[in-house]
Amino acid sequence: MASGYLDPAISARKKRDTSEKPPLSTLVPHGRAGKDTINGPKVLGSFTGEVWLDPILMQAGVDCTAANVTFLPGSCTNWHKHERGQYLRVLAGAGWVCDQGEKPRRISAGDVIWCPAGGIHWHGADKSSIMVHEAVSFGGIEWYDQVKDDVYADTKA
């Protein structure tokens, strides 16, 4: 199988077996998985401040989860890492992403962030803005401690 749409080998097409019964695609109407909005700090305990998660894809047997996450001003995730990485796409507002040992980097609507497998990081809203991002996580998540005030203090617009 070709590695992606941009792979030159994609033009080498195979004959399709029309008798095959492959798995069906999952359609999530209006980007909602039919699950209730989750109060991140209360239910998961892995956020600081007020954070709400709207599940998009959370399906048994799928090694990937997706959610739209809304961070109120000044709220963020705890430090964490993903077994196989995480894709973030900022949909609204402004915030920060920070890798362990580095300074926080500003993110805003339209930005895409790839957090590599095993990379310890946090992300959240600016002190004066909400931030909404789509988060697609691959594999398990390991959660750590809360972001310390002095680390968050490094977030300057």
What's the confidence (pLDDT) of residue 9? 61
Domain, as residue range, for 103: 49-144
In a domain, 65, yes or no: yes
Helices (H), 53-113: none
Rounded mean pLDDT of 33-58?
A: 83
In a domain, 116, yes or no: yes
How many whole angstroms separate alpha carbon 127 and alpha carbon 130? 8
**Res 5 pLDDT > 70:** no
Higher pLDDT, 67 or 36: 67
Number of structural domains in the chain: 1
In a domain, 81, yes or no: yes
In a domain, 124, yes or no: yes
Higher pLDDT, 98 or 152: 98
What's the confidence (pLDDT) of residue 43? 81
